[in-house]
Chains A and B, each alone.
Chain A
Amino acid sequence: MVELNTVIFDLLYLLAAILFIMGIKKMSHPRSAVFGNLLGVVGMLIAAGVSFAIILENESVQTNTTLPLGTIVGAIFIGTFFGTMLATRVQMTEMPQLVAIFNGVGGLASVLVAAASLLAAKEDAMHVEVLIAGGISGLIGAITFVGSGIAAGKLQELAFFKKSIPLPDVIRHFLNLLMLAGCIWCIYAMAVNGDVAINFIGICILGCALGYTLTTPIGGADMPVVIALLNSYSGLAAAATGFVVDQPVLIISGSLVGASGIILTSLMCKAMNRSLLNVLFGGGAASTYEEDGEVYATVIRTSPEDVAIMIDVADRVVFVPGYGMAVAQAQNAVSDLAQQIEERGGTVEYAIHPVAGRMPGHMNVLLAEADVDYSQLKTLEEINPDFDEVDVAIVIGANDVVNPEARKEGTPISGMPILNVDDARQVVVIKRSLSPGYAGIANPLFAADNATMLFGDGKAMIQDISTALKDLD
């Protein structure tokens, strides 16, 4: 006989899941997105509240046990404290690291829930499917935890995470396969023999090792793919945990997050014209850069004053930001310069390549922080047909995403969709030097007839242009 309370609790869980879906749906426009996020908060409050109600009700039925309410409330308090600290203190430029850390924390939480629930389960509840789900949750969660930790360390540019073990690719792949096979064997042994503790620990250790070997060789411009993929994993781990504790709300929410991560991953891969396998196992771009004097023979240097004059007469200016803008913290300077241009009657737009920066949407967040209106942020598809009507395109800290070599055959970036900056009437490239981007190839754009180079720190150069523009009056 189903009790009324159970029905109410289940329906409330379902409501929470619906709120999550609605919340993400509201994210389809910046105006409604804040409300969508609040829907998510309400959903989470409902879900957590119902869980409390359920265990409190259980306690009132079984009178011989007392709940460690102090522990629960304490844990919630600690978690809230650290969560608030992270959410309020972290700079917008550090957002990729923060998201990576949250991914890892989520993965670890899934592992711990699976472990606790397998340890505490009664003998008659140790079903095959529960054990398998627990094993999968432990495996994915462990990979996510260690992988995210390494990704965050690399993004923070900590020296410890920069070096990877110099193994030949073949051996690395073989090791990965071996460890994966070991995990699957552990899951099988756990499901069939029921030696939960040993096998689960084995799965976690192997999962951690896998997370390490999978993420260490990847870096630089491939980071957006890794973060999106780990985001997906943290969701899948939560979904697997849902099978362990038999709660559909976990399955629904987890698979939502999983789908979100997978979509972003595939978008990132498409924006680089590479397959996911190539990104994960390609073993980094070969840095076979030689001084390409031939390509760069016709490079023209310019000065901030010349650029200011160029901008002064321009009607339409497009900024093309890349990771270099984030490194130089130049977003506010760019926004100020844009404001000046607008006051002089020009229009300003920002052309943002999908893989610019170190995570999906990285540039957009930085520019939004600098008070740039979202209607000025243009995607690749929106801005590319318009580039021949652009008077001045200012490339700041971007390289591979504007490299015309991508249109040719036989280069490392062939077929990658790029911003057609070279179609603009005049191009200014602000860069420290002529060094190549992540793909390791020379960029003919720098030497094009309509392009001039402005060497120096992004922020300083933009500020110099600003002052020069002011002095023109």
Chain B
Amino acid sequence: MKYLHDIGSYFVMIKKVFGSFTKRSVLRELIFKEIDDLIIDSLGIVAFISFFVGGVVAIQTALNMTNPLIPESLIGFATRQSVILEFSPTFISIIMAGKVGSFITSSIGSMRVTEQIDALEVMGINSLNYLVFPKIVALLFYPFVIAISMFLGIFGGWLAGVYGGFTSSTAFIEGLQDSFIPYHLFYAFLKTFVFAFILATVPSWQGYYMKGGALEVGKASTNSFVWTSVLIILANYVITQLLLSS
């Protein structure tokens, strides 16, 4: 019953987020602030992880190619497929559930504990629109983060493959271009949008409806990471089944 209640309150929250709107000039400022906090501040960690994981994918592929009949271009091909289809959209989103999700939950949860949300409500402000809507809009820019991650992942793979002595640059690039299906990019970015919505709303729900004090803010942040990750994995499965299995 509790899960049903939670699911219900999540959808009620989504409806209220798009209810009475905050003054446009204030909302615009909030959106820019959220873009800075959620998108720009995440670029460093995303770039770092993408670059090195891309490199590791290339090395792992190269080290597992024991059959001389397999062309070297497979390293570029495998790096591209791994990074574009799964690593950048899905696993970066899981990492973002930890970084951005915890930040959203703890900031909204702290506002709940210190009555700042009550203060907004007493002033006649739709606190859900004020707090959550700018985060949803800011995370519409999340696909740009993923595009950067894709580029750096593949670049890291090229660098590790070529300068690690596993393949030539020509073979790697040939692998990158081999059997490229543009629809895969559509699939990757579509699911990125879905994950962005999950990243903005699930942690907000965890923070907004939390009860208790500072300790509970910490627990809510942990729950936020767990549930955001679970939903991203489930959504990933469903979207993959729907878009790629035909």
User: Is B truly associated with A?
Assistant: no
